[in-house]
Amino acid sequence: MKATIYHNPRCGTSRNALAMIEEAGADVTVIEYLKAPPSRDELKRLYERAGITPREGLRAKEEAAAGLADASDDEILDAMMRDPILINRPLVETDKGVRLARPSETVKDIL
């Protein structure tokens, strides 16, 4: 099985999800999204495949998210492209689907 994780190594939840993927024996591609963020179209596709909106994928705890309370999905995606820290993580994709693995155990649904 192949898996891709949009990962932040400083995030405990992201590290836990990565460990679960590796323990499952997946051939995993790790993308440190702060260094190599997905394109706007790719992020939109991931959210659609996960069945969530950009707002649900927003890391609302970040200071930069404060001005997005009334923003549209397109405005949120634009903000994520300007400041990738706004992308909540980890996002994990396999042939079985995409999950925003928060909590990290939700990754098991697609392994």
Show the domains of the chain with their CATH numbers: 2-110 (3.40.30.10)
| The model's pTM | 0.94
Q: Known catalytic residue: 11?
A: yes
> Which pLDDT value is given to residue 75?
97
The tokens for 6 are 């949009």
Q: What angle do CA 46, 99, 37 make, to 5 degrees?
A: 45
Q: What is the pLDDT of residues 23-55, one digit of tens each?
A: 999 999 999 999 999 999 999 999 999 999 999
Percent of the chain with pLDDT over 70: 100
The strand pairing partners of 31, in sequence order, are: 6
pLDDT (tens place) for every residue of the chain, 111 residues total: 999 999 999 999 999 999 999 999 999 999 999 999 999 999 999 999 999 999 999 999 999 999 999 999 999 999 999 999 999 999 999 999 999 999 999 999 999
Query: Between the CA of residue 23 and those of 19, 77, 81, 85, 99, what are the distances in Å?
Result: 6, 32, 32, 27, 17
Q: Which of 6, 8, 11, 102 is catalytic?
A: 11
Rounded CA separation 64/22 (Å): 32
